[in-house]
Amino acid sequence: MRSLKAAAVLGAGAGVCHLVLAFTDVANPLLVVTMLGLAGLCVPCTVRLWRRPSEQAATTMLFLTAVMILAHTAIIPAHNHSSVTTLPPDATAMSTFMMLPLILDLAAAVQLALWLRRHHRSNPPTFAVHLNREATEPS
């Protein structure tokens, strides 16, 4: 259960980062709405995982962190050695800060995946038991 609480804290951290990012460029309303939406997605999963940790809450949060990771990797500019550009100090600091939610999401995803793996090893899914029972029962 501690790993689920740790994942909830990491998810809350990613949500806070999205809130901060929402208000860094208020001139861009699309960015503000997107960041507030992403922060809003973090809240229900984080709260549910903290208050009532369960397999369903862990699976939902793992799915959403995977979506967030894919979204972040899609917006991060490709690493290109052919053209060297220097960014202003503010842009460098902001791009570094934009990596923080990605790092928090990756850490949360690892915590959740490890917990789900341990949980499934100690509690195999019940539908598999029913399938095996039906296959072995004489007709």
What is the average per-residue pLDDT within 8-15?
90
What's residue 67's pLDDT?
85
pTM of the model: 0.70
3-state secondary structure the chain: CHHHHHHHHHHHHHHHHHHHHHCCCCCCHHHHHHHHHHHHHHHHHHHHHHHCCCHHHHHHHHHHHHHHHHHHHHHCCCCCCCCCCCCCHHHHHHHHHHHHHHHHHHHHHHHHHHHHHHHHHHCCCHHHHHHHHHHHCCC
Residue, of 12 and 82, whose pLDDT is higher: 12
Q: Could you read off the pLDDT of 78-121 as tens digits, one per residue?
A: 544 444 445 455 555 556 777 888 889 899 999 999 999 988 88
Q: For 20-77, what is each residue's pLDDT tens digit?
A: 878 877 777 887 888 888 788 888 888 998 998 888 889 988 998 888 888 777 766 5
Residue ranges of domains in the chain: 2-76+87-136
Per-residue pLDDT, 135: 53
